Structure 1
Amino acid sequence: MDRNRNIFRQIKWSFLFKILTFIFYYISISFQVKILGSELYGVWATLLSIVTWVVFFDFGLGNGIKNYLTEALSLNNTIEAKEIIMTGYVSITIISILLFLFVYIFSSFANLQSIFNTTLLMQDQLKIIVVLLFGFVFLHFIISFVKQFIFAIQKNALNEFEQFLFYILLCSLLLYLYVFGYHSIESIVIVYGVALITSKLVLTIIFFTKNRHLIPSMKNFQKNIMGKLMNVGISFFALQMVFIFIMLSDKIIITQLLGPKYVTSYDIVYRLFSIVQVLHGIVNAPLWSAYTEAYTKKEIYWIISSLKKMGLFVFVLAGVAITLNVFSEQLISIWIGDQIQISKSLVMMMTIYVVIVAWNNNYAFFLNAINAIKVQFYTLLIGAILNIPLSIFFVKNFHMGNAGVVLATILSLSFFAIAGPIQARVILSKVKNNEAHI
């Protein structure tokens, strides 16, 4: 199938599944707030943000496998593709076991009440919650590796279907908790984990049923491929560390500076404006592996054209963000009710934040797809170093509350917003010039 036709097909189906997902996504948030209450939900939201950190702890294996598997499939090398898949599974299983042991030991000695800044839950209770949640997460860690294979075959609409299935299951289980009065974080953790694992198992069955020629066996495990994956993985891992430190530390910072209650208002506004990120992701997600394939085949003008189109799309998304800004009070009131107070400054900062994230991701996806990540790493490292001091400065000196934390994140991301487009132009110009001299 023609690359552009396939991308359009993936966007079309992804958009459909994402709309359905969003319906159940917002229903699930409403149920969680009602079940737990404002402050306890803040603790749960902070827990989930830490979980999101851990999901990145694959030492960059996911992105490395996505790129190498795309290259192998572009060259019709099925044997190498199976070797990459099997080696990836073995590697991620080892990492998951080691990480779970670390979390178990850490939760046994750490003062979890201090970390989550709450006295609503006892130390022993928090330990059970953390160990149970991360047990589900690390199991999910292994099973969800199939998503990288799906990106590699450029059928990412299947990943959107999995998210849709996850939220259907989650909402069904949350409704059960709500109706029968199970109002505890432990019950939320269980239903969250069950929905997470079940949806990924279904996705795995679908992928290997449709791609039986890619089903690997242990004989496909190759130590040399593990070394290759780990080498590129370490580079991606370093990038992921500084990225998540900027993007996902906000809730921890807010919890420590202001308390869990302020995490709830931040989380609600963030999730409202995540519509912008989701719309951008639907269109941008198929491009990662498409960029890898096009760059491997030296189809540079297709890449340039795609980047220009995505730049224009960001301006459209800016209009969506402004619309959400204008009607945010009414939308949140309809969705959650009037029990949570939202500041206008927080809404304004989140409007800017989602636009700059979309802009950055345009260039990050291309550069990541060709393993050109040094500039991105150093600019994000500078941002990561500045993020916490800036957050403290805006909260303490300007009394901006959680809006100040978002402003610090915006400034931290601005370095790559400038450097990313410049690096992309330089790389593409070099390739064009080299082709001209052949």
Structure 2
Amino acid sequence: MILHFKEKLSNENNRIVILNSIGAFILKGSSLLITLMTLPAFMKYFGNQEVLGLWFAILSILSWVFSFDLGIGNGLRNYLVKSLIKDNKDLVKSYISSAYILTAIIVFVATLFISLFFKYIKWNVIFNIPSNLVSENVINLTILISVFGVLIQFLLKLVSSILYALQKSVINNLLQLASSILILLFVSNFDFQDLSTSLVVLSIIHFAAINLPLLIVTIIIFSTVLKGSIPSFKYFKKDRANEVIKLGGVFLWVQIMYMLIIVTDEFLIAYLSSTSHVVEYQVYNRVFTISGSIVLLVMTPVWSVITKAYAESDYLWLARLYKILKSVFLLMVFLQIIITVFLQDIINFWLGENVITVNSLYSIVFMFLGITFIWNSILSSISNGMGELKTQIIYFTIGAAIKFPLSFILVYYLESWIGVVISSVICMSMYCVAQPIWLSKFFKRTLSLQH
């Protein structure tokens, strides 16, 4: 009877993974193609690599800011899965309301803080771009619009965590695709006479593109599936808020440390070298992260299914999944090698002849960056779904601590911005070695106890 029940649970988990993964491949795969098409469109839109590099660096900064939500979304996601398994509607209402109210408070405080102190920041110095190319006022306005857009996204993005918990990750992929299409349509069809207007208008379009799809889906979800669970102070529970923020705080620390390792590359390249080199970085990075993005699009819906299986103590299913994912990793490593061999042909086909000449050292470094990104996506999704964050906390913290000084040293001695990317590979590799050791011990222990 128990074995039959376990088999039923495992079959349900398999079905959820397969359906969400197929949807992710179609929609997220389309989003990846749109992203590849966006880079040449951006080049044409700006017509200046330094300003384009500035825009990419601004987006990099925004992704830092987006991590400072106290991890509430991830905390909500994990607790909501458990509440839905128990079919406890009161818990669902209280977790949702508590998460939204906490996030609204953060957005309000952050908006107040930014409004008071934003004007004192010297962005031209930070981004290493001359004021005669882009004035201080233009950069300030561009970043201010973009930051406020991200702050609103903080609140609206909670619907994504709800969708993951409901095992409806396909809708999240549709949202990302919609945002990418809106931005691509704009940069492909509009052209302005001066760079300043191009920057400011693009920041407004970015504001709308990232928030409008989320707003529409939020209204639909709370009008249908979660009709009785609209966020309200009536359902706010202090203990639920504490649970979400406690787990979210751990996720936040992991997010920040990971961010300091990976997401700072564009900023460091702009600061230590030039914003024009950020564009070259983007070319290599977008090609070599395709494989990682494919794996990530599969792992994103799998996270909540792992949480579900872990709550059901279905360790055999988790172990089998891990074994399959290790095989997927080896396949992706082979794909990274193929990309390295044919990189010049790929770039020529994508951007045209003579746009960039491939540097063999750079391509090998980015190949290893892509491999570490893929392996990290697999490992962190499994450990996040199980709520095992200790290994990430330790090794991401160590990596973040050495990322900046190591980047400075490598760029100085190599006399090239590629030192920043080498630093990222080194910092990520420590976690990629440590987490598999923990997982092997965990599965050996739990499976032996069940037998």
TM-score range, shorter chain: over 0.9
**What is the Cα deviation at residue 179 of structure 1?**
8.0
Indicate whether 1:184 and 2:194 are aligned: no
Correspondent of 2:362 among 346, 369, 374: 346
Indicate whether 1:35 and 2:45 are aligned: yes
Q: Corresponding residue for 1:358? A: 374
Distance, in Å, in 2 between the alignment partners of 1:380 and 1:202 is: 36
Distance, in Å, in 2 between the alignment partners of 1:217 and 1:135 is: 22
Letter in 1 for 2:33: I
Q: Corresponding residue for 1:144? A: 157
**What is the Cα deviation at residue 172 of structure 1?**
1.9
Taking the TM superposition and a 5 Å limit, the aligned residue runs for 1:264-413 are 264-337=279-352, 338-399=354-415, 401-413=416-428
Distance, in Å, in 1 between the alignment partners of 2:192 and 2:213 is: 23
Q: Corresponding residue for 1:220? A: 235
Using the TM superposition, name which of 60-69 and 175-184 deviates more.
175-184
Letter in 2 for 1:369: G
**What is the Cα deviation at residue 243 of structure 1?**
0.8
Indicate whether 1:83 and 2:94 are aligned: yes
**What is the Cα deviation at residue 38 of structure 1?**
0.8
Taking the TM superposition and a 5 Å limit, the aligned residue runs for 1:105-184 are 105-119=116-130, 120-178=133-191, 184=198
Q: Corresponding residue for 1:207? A: 221
Distance, in Å, in 2 between the alignment partners of 1:258 and 1:88 is: 41
Q: Corresponding residue for 1:58? A: 69
Distance, in Å, in 2 between the alignment partners of 1:322 and 1:165 is: 32
Deviations 1:235-266 (A, max 9, x none): 11111111100011111111111111111100
Letter in 1 for 2:375: W
The 3 A distance-change label for structure 1 pair 72 and 42 is same
Say if 2:71 and 2:251, in contact at 8 Å, map to a contact too: yes
Deviations 1:407-433 (A, max 9, x none): 111110111111101112223333334
**What is the Cα deviation at residue 339 of structure 1?**
3.7
**What is the Cα deviation at residue 342 of structure 1?**
4.5
Distance, in Å, in 2 between the alignment partners of 1:429 and 1:95 is: 42
Say if 1:11 and 1:282, in contact at 8 Å, map to a contact too: yes
Say if 1:18 and 1:164, in contact at 8 Å, map to a contact too: yes
Say if 1:84 and 1:225, in contact at 8 Å, map to a contact too: yes
Q: Number of aligned pairs?
A: 435
Say if 1:177 and 1:187, in contact at 8 Å, map to a contact too: no
Say if 2:399 and 2:427, in contact at 8 Å, map to a contact too: yes
Unaligned stretches of 5+ residues in structure 2? 1-10
Indicate whether 1:432 and 2:447 are aligned: yes
Distance, in Å, in 2 between the alignment partners of 1:174 and 1:160 is: 22
**What is the Cα deviation at residue 383 of structure 1?**
1.0
The 3 A distance-change label for structure 1 pair 103 and 272 is farther
Letter in 2 for 1:148: S
State the Cα RMSD in Å: 1.9
**What is the Cα deviation at residue 181 of structure 1?**
8.0
Deviations 1:132-189 (A, max 9, x none): 1111111111111110011111221111111111122122222332389886211111
Identity of aligned residues (%): 24
Distance, in Å, in 1 between the alignment partners of 2:389 and 2:32 is: 32
Distance, in Å, in 2 between the alignment partners of 1:350 and 1:418 is: 19
Say if 1:43 and 1:260, in contact at 8 Å, map to a contact too: yes
Unaligned stretches of 5+ residues in structure 1? none
Say if 2:296 and 2:378, in contact at 8 Å, map to a contact too: no
**What is the Cα deviation at residue 347 of structure 1?**
1.8
Distance, in Å, in 2 between the alignment partners of 1:315 and 1:206 is: 40
Distance, in Å, in 2 between the alignment partners of 1:310 and 1:151 is: 20
Distance, in Å, in 1 between the alignment partners of 2:116 and 2:176 is: 31
TM-score (norm 2): 0.92
Letter in 2 for 1:230: I
**What is the Cα deviation at residue 317 of structure 1?**
1.0
Distance, in Å, in 1 between the alignment partners of 2:369 and 2:50 is: 25
The 3 A distance-change label for structure 1 pair 23 and 365 is closer
**Aligned-partner SS, 1:142:** helix
Distance, in Å, in 1 between the alignment partners of 2:183 and 2:217 is: 16
Say if 1:239 and 1:377, in contact at 8 Å, map to a contact too: yes
Distance, in Å, in 2 between the alignment partners of 1:179 and 1:10 is: 41
Q: Corresponding residue for 1:232? A: 247
